[in-house]
Chains A and B, each alone.
Chain A
């Protein structure tokens, strides 16, 4: 009896620790990268050793020297400070995209799966039309209509990712909706909203979380691309995508460090998020048997 109780009353902390251990070295490394990027996003401007926006043209393209570990960019600004300061817009943009698209996607997916019939047809065909538009194209369109900037790009990408999230979650929600226990709840007189919120969504939550982490990586690359094109975050605001764009001349002039450093930041975070998402998804699937 005591063993049963112990198994039934595992604390949330212990469970989190078990998940951490099961993700393996690559998973832990990924978590470290994500934690570092998150700290930079939160406190980047405070951690920056120098003013990230203060130019000094006489030092442009100067390599690592003194306290300036990554040297200076094309305008003679400290690269490390700009990387730290740029973490905020580089991380928050994808986060907003993920929150928007996953929330709306879950809502649409569960609605389609629950109501089936006409609602499902309308939602599914609407999404099939959206599938035809690449995210970058929508972002360019949004920039043309609402003006360049992070908000327009974020909303455009959220819309572009909506079909991917919804299609995946709709399948999972449909499977869950056809489970006999849902019919049993219906016969008990439970309302559709109660069944969806208390049973369907929690039971597809592992998939939602895994999908969110994978989307974060895509959103980061796409937003960096949009910023690189000059339609996202506007210079002189520090942003990793903007930094690649500003410093691309350096790649030809033999001063690759500023652009490459920003690129490496993006690559590291994207890989870390993807690895972690994959591990979490595998675990969720293994747990379900």
Chain B
């Protein structure tokens, strides 16, 4: 694992036009991924997780205004066009939340799996099909040859998501963007798909940006986890430390809101208030201030900067002060 970052987003700010008004959906997002590293991206709905992935894949709406930079292996992604953009994208694979929506419903699975190989990598048809069957076997689909002849509607959701994983890995990408790949699946299928995704990722040394609502899932499979709130990064921390030693009150509150299998709780601890979208966040103060139990005058004075702390990053004005007091697991 080299220390040169594979992907480096710096000061990424995205504005979208909604009803004639420009609204920020991402504000000053900075994130790095080293080759082979898995980084989790967690947060509530509307916190900007998917937008970050879309910005990296250059899938933002055409009228989006983008500030800041995204560099992939040293090249600036924002300036790519035409063949260069396609070459970049063939090194970045994306897995989506709803596999059924992301496959052309009137084409066979075989066409779907082999299309990128045949058109972008000039692999002959028979060879492409052979590779597709091999890859299907690796994601746990044994009768690949028959599956290639089927249509998406003949598959279950879990099966289709495994096919999406196979498709993402077939072209040998360097970065995998997984946008809530298991959210649409039922719990037992989720575990299976996650195990396959995690195993294959480690085998092929692929870097992954893993987007999820699920703090524990991210912590389990990612080296580092970034927590987003209102279009900003609240905290980036080694996954193993995120739970026991969070650096941002929001992370602590999120973790405390999860039911714990070892404890009987009569009421889950909710975070007071409701999640804000980036454009709703109050200007000139910490976005989490209205909901934060540790709010102080310093939080209202300015938007906090990202502070480096113990190998992690936190956007909390009182991060140093609160260190050690933000216990995620509530004392019984």
Contacts and interface: CB of A to CB of B under 8 A. Distances in A.
B144 to A, nearest CB: 15
B59 A116 contact: no
A11 interface: no
A116 B102 CA distance: 21
Contact of B120 (A181, A188, A199): A188
B300 interface: no
Given A8-B149, A116-B62, A187 B93 contact: yes
A188 B93 contact: yes
A186 B59 contact: yes
Interface string B61-72: 011000000000
Contacts of A188: 89-90, 93, 115-116, 120, 167, 171
A26 interface: no
Contacts of B116: 188-190
Interface in B119-160: 119-120, 146, 149-151, 154
B240 interface: no
A181 B101 contact: yes
Interface in A188-232: 188-191, 194, 198-199, 202-203
A183 interface: yes
Contacts of A203: 104, 106
B119 A194 contact: yes
A4 B150 contact: yes
Nearest to A203: B106
A189 B94 contact: no
B96 interface: yes
A9 to B, nearest CB: 8
B150 A187 contact: no
Contact of B94 (A4, A9, A116, A184): A184
B149 to A, nearest CB: 6
A198 B62 contact: no
Nearest to A117: B62
Contacts of B154: 4, 8
A58 B59 CA distance: 77
A187 B94 contact: yes
**Main SS at interface, chain A:** helix
Interface in B176-192: 177
Nearest to A191: B86
A8 B57 CA distance: 34
Nearest to B103: A181
A187 B60 CA distance: 12
B119 A190 contact: yes
Nearest to A178: B61
A189 B120 contact: yes
Contact of A181 (B89, B104, B149, B151): B104
B107 A199 contact: yes
Contacts of B323: none
A35 to B, nearest CB: 29
Contacts of A179: 101
Contacts of B102: 180-181, 183-184
A184 B57 CA distance: 10
Interface in B75-122: 86-90, 92-94, 96, 98, 101-108, 115-116, 119-120
Nearest to B154: A4
B131 to A, nearest CB: 15
Contacts of B120: 188-190
A1 B106 CA distance: 20
A209 to B, nearest CB: 15
B94 A191 contact: no
A32 B166 CA distance: 49
A117 B104 contact: no
A206 to B, nearest CB: 11
Q: Which of B104, B106, B120 has the most CB of A within 10 A?
A: B104
Contacts of B98: 180
Contacts of B62: 116-117
A8 B108 CA distance: 9
Contact of A187 (B89, B146, B151): B89
Nearest to A120: B62
Nearest to A202: B106
A180 B101 contact: yes
Interface of A: 1, 4-5, 8-9, 116-117, 179-181, 183-191, 194, 198-199, 202-203
List the 10 shortest-distance A-B pairs measured between CB atoms, nearest first. Answer: A189-B90, A184-B102, A189-B89, A180-B101, A188-B116, A187-B94, A189-B86, A180-B102, A181-B104, A187-B57
Interface of B: 57, 59, 62-63, 86-90, 92-94, 96, 98, 101-108, 115-116, 119-120, 146, 149-151, 154, 167, 171, 177
16 contacts: A1-B146, A4-B150, A8-B154, A117-B63, A181-B101, A183-B59, A184-B94, A185-B115, A187-B57, A188-B93, A188-B167, A189-B87, A190-B116, A190-B120, A191-B119, A203-B104
Given A4-B154, A189-B120, 13 more contacts: A1-B146, A9-B149, A117-B63, A180-B101, A181-B101, A184-B94, A186-B89, A187-B89, A187-B93, A188-B89, A188-B90, A190-B119, A191-B119
